[in-house]
Amino acid sequence: MKKFQAQPGFQVQAFRLALDPNAFQEAALRSHCGAERAAYNWAVGWVTASWWQRKAEESYGVPADALTGWRPWSLPSLRKAFNEAKHTDPRFAGWWEENSKEAYSTGLANAAAAFDNYAKSKQGKRRGKRMGAPRFKSKRKARLACRFTTGTIRVDGDGRHVTLPRLGTIRTHEPTADLHARIQAGTARVLSATVRHERGRWLVSFQAEVKQHIRRVTRPGVAVGIDLGVKTLAVMADSTGENRTVANPGHYDAARKQLRRASRTVSRRQGPDRRTGRKPSKRWGKANDIRNRVHHRVANLREDALHKLTTAVAAEYGTIVVEELNVAGMLRNRRLARRIADAGFGEIRRQLAYKTRQRHATRLVAADRWYPSSKTCSGCGAVKAKLPLHVRTYECDACNLVIDRDDNAALNLAALAAACTTGTGVAGDQDTAPAASKPRGADRRTRATTRSRNATGGRAGGATLPHQRQQETRDRTQAEALTLW
């Protein structure tokens, strides 16, 4: 898909609205999303057909210069080939004209992006987990989504309807007055619209170019450290010494009893069986809808709670320090995976990233994944060699400080950026602190406590004092751990 670059003084922002289509419009929405999936599957089959053909020819001993040529997967090439094939291909004959061209263009663009990601991943040019070759989308599992970039894309003036290409005017569940007022004032321009079926509802997301409006934070000169956890969602400590605790709502745990009952009802109905081709009964469908509504409600409550938390934090502090957590690795812990997934650690950081950058132009500091925030004493800077997860109280061996483990970690995170905090909460002061490099292959082992080092290998005479060595260790650890996002 084409990425829009905002003009100077503008930024790209999404406005998501819930739709209220009638039966005819919902059928048209499903048809467009099905056309996107059909175009995607056609592109995957068209490109990979040349791969299998070359492999078969190689098995017969055909020389390399005589093999079938590779079919390109760039978006212009796929569009050209699809426009030639849609008139003769039996998979599209008789119905492809019922949908907007944007539906097929969305599927082709997604296929081109999938092949690009696969090629870059295979060549080592793409970060993250290794990606496999694109596969066909299942009609039963594929997400329903379609994007419109051309045609009539309009937010109607009555504040309750939107107009999309070929779909016409559709009523919305919520008012559109905010976006319409910005468009009329000339401070917003709609670039594209994406419809999708998510959590039992049809949603439309307008990607608009909006004039920047930086909001000044409440305390621009204060840095806050946020330590995320399972029992307590967030422990926040700022540079002024003020602590705050946010309890974990635990929406999924609260709904587990209701989910057990709903799932038990579903299991007693006649469900689908792909092995025998048995179709689900109507009672199974009704029971499954009830169970899905419970899941949707939990997801909506979680999203609402996280948005309220991140919005309040981003609007108050000039500098926010969070940890770079390995959430994917943490989910492998079978004892804590459910609670970690329910807390939404990755979503908290994602929301803080765009809210601090776009709304307030403040600083978000990400502590290195190996920074020992929990093992470091917030009073003297001594670092413990080991601190098991079940130990919830930090006891310093050097200064005899006794403090809650999460409070200690939050204070260390706040101190990580307090020394270099000069922002005032306006756009011109962001990214003022230098970013320390993270060299690969560095020793990630936690340093031993200063007291134990003095007992084993301390120098006499002109050696530095213990508190000086502790301060040097603390400064060195902070310099290695501090990275700006």
Which listed residue (36, 368, 406, 407) is catalytic? 406
Phi, psi of 171 (to 5 degrees): -75, 150
- 324 carries an active-site annotation: no
Which listed residue (102, 227, 238, 342) is catalytic? 227
Residue with tokens 């907007």: 100
Q: How far is CA 466 from the centre of its chain?
A: 44
Report the alpha-carbon angle 83-89-94, nearest 5.
90
Which listed residue (102, 238, 323, 407) is catalytic? 323
The secondary structure of 202-220, three-state, reads EEEEEEEEEECCCCCCCEE
Q: How far apart are CA 352 and CA 310, in angstroms?
A: 6
Q: How far apart are CA 202 and CA 204, in angstroms?
A: 7
- Contacts with 149 (C-beta within 8 Å, 6 or more apart), sequence order: 2, 102, 105, 191, 192
- Contacts with 306 (C-beta within 8 Å, 6 or more apart), sequence order: 344, 347, 348, 351
Residue 365 contacts residue 485 (beta carbons within 8 Å): yes
Q: Where are the alpha helices (DSSP H) in 139-281?
A: 177-185, 251-254, 256-267
Residue 224 zone, left/alpha/beta (φ > 0; ψ -120 to 50; rest):
beta
Residue 224 contacts residue 321 (beta carbons within 8 Å): yes
Structure-token pair, residue 298: 């939990």
Distance linking the first and last C-alpha atoms of the chain: 25
* Identity at 228, one-letter amino acid code: L
- 406 carries an active-site annotation: yes
SS3 of residue 192 by DSSP: strand
Report the alpha-carbon angle 122-147-138, nearest 5.
60
SS3 of residue 243 by DSSP: strand
Residue 427 contacts residue 214 (beta carbons within 8 Å): yes
Structure-token pair, residue 277: 């081709």
- 102 carries an active-site annotation: no
SS3 of residue 238 by DSSP: strand
Query: Would you please indicate which residues are annotated as catalytic (active-site) residues?
Result: 227, 323, 406
